[in-house]
């Protein structure tokens, strides 16, 4: 498994250089998050299904515990997202935010990542998928936390896009020494290792395309004339990759099972 983990780290480091992150500016932090956040909605919701299905399909008891723990740690995070959307946009998500043209690249990537759950023929590949998802999250939440921390004038504290979420991500047990030791000890015959490396490449290619779509949205919002509604960003792009697997830090970050104080927002129709 060591070679696979090193490959994820290399992909993660490359993903951190994605043009999307270069577009983020500290001078308009909340405005920028508000522009791309609704386009991310389909992935945030699909992510929960991927974790659920992936964990259900793991048979090996040790690996199932890792998959289940990861799913448990992320349960309810979509509620934080919906709460943040309401704060950022002044209302609930619309169906067009999920299925409009501007979200096409997000949906395409989500479907591709969902197929990896069914494509995997070995529990060890399912754990690799979990590690890839976690590695991309560390990069993304690290960047959005910097943005929200820069928003000193923001009257409402965000959760999903803030360092609140980042600290919880960093505290996930999948990065603790015992879990890391178990993962490193997973045997990987050459043929399975080759499959795992291909899985990592495909998953990061999907994330690359997703974030190119988000970058298009940021760029359009930045270039539009004042008072003019930006047209919906069109779809996808191609492939590329990532930043560094798991600092073994077990930082505080609060209880991930913390209950949301805001009721689940209803999704508005068109």
Would you identify the CATH topology of the domain 2-222?
Heme Oxygenase; Chain A (1.20.910)
pLDDT 10s digits, 39-62: 999 999 999 999 999 999 999 999
Q: Burial level of 238, CB count in 10 A (0-12/13-18/19+)?
A: exposed
Residue 72: pLDDT band by 50, 70, 90 thresholds? confident
pLDDT score at 218: 76
Q: Which H or E run includes 73?
A: helix 61-74
For the chain, the domains span 2-222
Residue 150, helix vs strand vs coil = helix
What's the mean pLDDT when you consider all of the chain?
78
Give the pLDDT score at 236. 31
Confidence (pLDDT) at 77? 87
Statement: residue 110 has pLDDT above 70: yes
Paired with 13 in beta bridges are 243
- pLDDT per residue over 191-246, tens digit each? 999 999 999 999 999 999 999 999 987 777 666 544 434 334 333 322 233 333 44
> What local confidence, expressed as pLDDT, does residue 223 receive?
60
Q: How far from 261 is each of 157, 158, 164, CA to CA, in Å?
A: 13, 13, 15
Identify whether the C-beta of residue 242 lies closer than 8 Å to the C-beta of residue 207. yes
């Amino acid at each position: 498994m060591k070679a696979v983990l090193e490959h994820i780290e290399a992909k993660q480091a490359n993903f951190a250089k994605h043009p999307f992150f270069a577009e983020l500016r500290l001078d308009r932090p909340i405005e920028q998050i508000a522009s791309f956040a609704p386009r991310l909605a389909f992935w945030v919701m699909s992510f929960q299904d991927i974790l659920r299905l992936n964990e259900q399909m793991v048979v090996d008891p040790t690996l199932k515990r890792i998959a289940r723990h990861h799913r448990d740690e992320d349960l309810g995070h979509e509620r934080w997202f919906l709460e943040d959307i309401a704060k950022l946009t002044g209302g609930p998500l619309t169906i067009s935010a999920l299925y409009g043209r501007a979200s096409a690249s997000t949906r395409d990537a989500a479907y591709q990542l969902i197929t990896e759950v069914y494509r995997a023929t070995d529990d060890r590949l399912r754990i690799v998928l979990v590690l890839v998802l976690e590695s991309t999250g560390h990069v993304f939440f690290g960047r959005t936390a910097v943005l929200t921390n820069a928003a000193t004038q923001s009257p409402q504290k965000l959760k999903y896009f803030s360092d609140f979420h980042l600290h919880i991500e960093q505290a996930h047990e999948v990065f603790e020494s015992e879990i890391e030791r178990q993962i490193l000890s997973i045997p990987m015959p050459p043929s399975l290792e080759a499959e795992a490396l291909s899985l990592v490449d495909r998953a990061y290619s999907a994330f690359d395309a997703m974030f190119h779509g988000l970058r298009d949205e940021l760029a359009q919002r930045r270039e539009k004339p004042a008072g003019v509604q930006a047209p919906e960003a069109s779809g996808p792009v191609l492939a590329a990759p990532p930043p560094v697997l798991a600092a073994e830090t077990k930082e505080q970050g609060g209880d991930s099972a913390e209950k949301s104080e805001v009721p689940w927002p209803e999704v508005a129709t068109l």
